[in-house]
Amino acid sequence: MKTLIKTLHAALMTTSLLAAAGAQAADVEVLHWWTAGGEARSVAELKKMLEAKGHKWKDFAVAGGGGENAMTVLKSRVVSGNPPTAAQIKGPSIQEWGAEGVLANMNDVAKAGNWDGLLPPVVANVMKYKGNYVAVPVNVHRVNWMWANPEVFKKAGVAIPKTWDEFPAAAEKLQKAGFIPVAHGGQPWQDFTVFESVVMGVGGPAFYKKALVDLDQASLKGPTMIKALETLQMVRKYIDKDAANRDWNLATAMVINGKAAMQFMGDWAKGEFSAAGKKPGKDYVCLPAPGSANAFTFNIDSLVMFTQKSADAKKGQQDLATAVMSPEFQEVFNLNKGSIPARQGMDLAKFDDCAKQSAADFTASAKSGGLVPSIAHQMAVPAATAGAIQDVVTQFFNSHTMTPKAAADKLALAAKVR
């Protein structure tokens, strides 16, 4: 991104001139990739709140789960001197954008709203660049979930596997009974999502952290990683032939309609079950991915604020940030999205059992050391490093010749990319 700096400064100069020449309308333009059923319902609530404050909502949705497409579009918009009011950006990337000098300081809004008192430090720190708030968190997603259709397991006469050792026998039975054991979409970020849950289940939180957060070379190419990659190879056997390019929400639909037994996906998948009128504990169950009950791979969505020139635009941005942190927004957005509020001290009475379990596990894992950032969802390492590691995971996932040992060596090399 460093190569963008000069262009960005030139572009910002142009923006200032434009702003000086005539005031902009207070459009609140938010770039995001929330386009699936549950996601769209969530974002519609934000739009409603902003419009109620008299602003004009300018939707800037870029389809493609996981956000790769959205980030490409965002870069070109910022380079051309026309950043949106805010964009869905997460984790260490917030620091990268901060270093470009294009983010707005939201400290006044944060102070007025007592954000420091309302956010756990692990969340607040991610929202700050050099100690100043530049972003606002909308939720906490848990990635290491397994979504299962209990009716399918019942029909196949098999229990839902709780460990990776139990997994192949269960999957064989499901397959024999005519079901697709694992619903999956063939996109790199989806492969990466399954990979990180498998690494967690096989290696546990301390290993996950060493390998995928600290990028320890010996862990990346060592025996535990090789075992995790063997497990991933085993899981791949139970995915159907049409998975290539399938969107994640279409894979969720396969579990919803009983074609497939389970999916490994973060709890935005729950937004799809909810949008389809399905009830947890009855129509579907949420379980930590095998072997990962003591862990919580977190994925916090946040809206990052870009510097605005006109007073109107600044006001719109401040109202957006205030709305996002309000208890009303944190409740309704997350009820639809499948996540839990980032704001602490909220009453979870309206939330379902999966969300309550998520909240309890978030707290418990924070104490036990099992709370770790998701690498597949841009929370753990710089974007370039995550991208290089994801490339290896996808190559391995889709190759029938690469050995787990060779893949582990490649992972260690990829981890050196910055």
Among 41, 128, 377, 410, binds ligand BGC (CB under 6 A): 377
Minimum Å gap between C-beta 157 and ligand BGC is 33
Told to check if 301 binds ligand BGC by CB under 6 A, we report: yes
CA distances from 353 to 6, 28, 37, 56, 89 (A): 50, 34, 21, 36, 28
Minimum Å gap between C-beta 50 and ligand BGC is 19
Told to check if 67 binds ligand BGC by CB under 6 A, we report: yes
Three state DSSP letters for the chain: CHHHHHHHHHHHHHHHHHHHHCCCCCEEEEEECCCCHHHHHHHHHHHHHHHHCCCEEEEEECCCHHHHHHHHHHHHHHHCCCCCCEEECCCCHHHHHHHCCCECCCHHHHHHCCHHHHCCHHHHHHHEECCEECEEECCEEECCEEEECHHHHHHHCCCCCCCCCCHHHHHHHHHHCCCEEECCCECHHHHHHHHHHHHHHHHHHHHHHHHHHCCCHHHHHCHHHHHHHHHHHHHHCCECHHHECCCHHHHHHHHHCCCEEEEECCCHHHHHHHHCCCCECCCEEEEECCCCCCCEEEECCEEEEECCCCHHHHHHHHHHHHHHHCHHHHHHHHHHHCCECCCCCCCCCCCCHHHHHHHHHHHHHHHHCCEEECCCCCCCCCHHHHHHHHHHHHHHHHCCCCCHHHHHHHHHHHCCCC
Q: Which stretch binds ligand BGC (CB under 6 A): 60-68, 95-103, 152-160, 408-416?
A: 60-68
Q: Which stretch binds ligand BGC (CB under 6 A): 64-72, 219-227, 361-369, 404-412?
A: 64-72
Q: Which stretch binds ligand BGC (CB under 6 A): 65-73, 110-118, 326-334, 394-402?
A: 65-73
Which parts of 169-198 interact with ligand BGC (CB under 6 A)?
A: none
Told to check if 361 binds ligand BGC by CB under 6 A, we report: no
Q: Which stretch binds ligand BGC (CB under 6 A): 2-10, 62-70, 252-260, 322-330?
A: 62-70
Among 28, 33, 149, 372, binds ligand BGC (CB under 6 A): 33
Centroid of chain to Cα 215: 20
Told to check if 66 binds ligand BGC by CB under 6 A, we report: yes
Residue nearer to ligand BGC on the CB measure, 65 or 205: 65
Minimum Å gap between C-beta 72 and ligand BGC is 15
Which parts of 107-166 interact with ligand BGC (CB under 6 A)?
A: 141
Minimum Å gap between C-beta 38 and ligand BGC is 8
Minimum Å gap between C-beta 299 and ligand BGC is 5
Residue nearer to ligand BGC on the CB measure, 41 or 377: 377
Told to check if 45 binds ligand BGC by CB under 6 A, we report: no
Among 60, 147, 179, 268, binds ligand BGC (CB under 6 A): 268
What tokens were used for 366? 């924070």
Told to check if 39 binds ligand BGC by CB under 6 A, we report: yes
Minimum Å gap between C-beta 266 and ligand BGC is 6
Told to check if 274 binds ligand BGC by CB under 6 A, we report: no
Count the residues of the shown chain that bind ligand BGC, applying the rule CB under 6 A. Answer: 11
Q: Which stretch binds ligand BGC (CB under 6 A): 61-69, 203-211, 229-237, 406-414?
A: 61-69
Residues found near ligand BGC in the complex (CB under 6 A)? 33, 39, 65-67, 141, 248, 268, 299, 301, 377
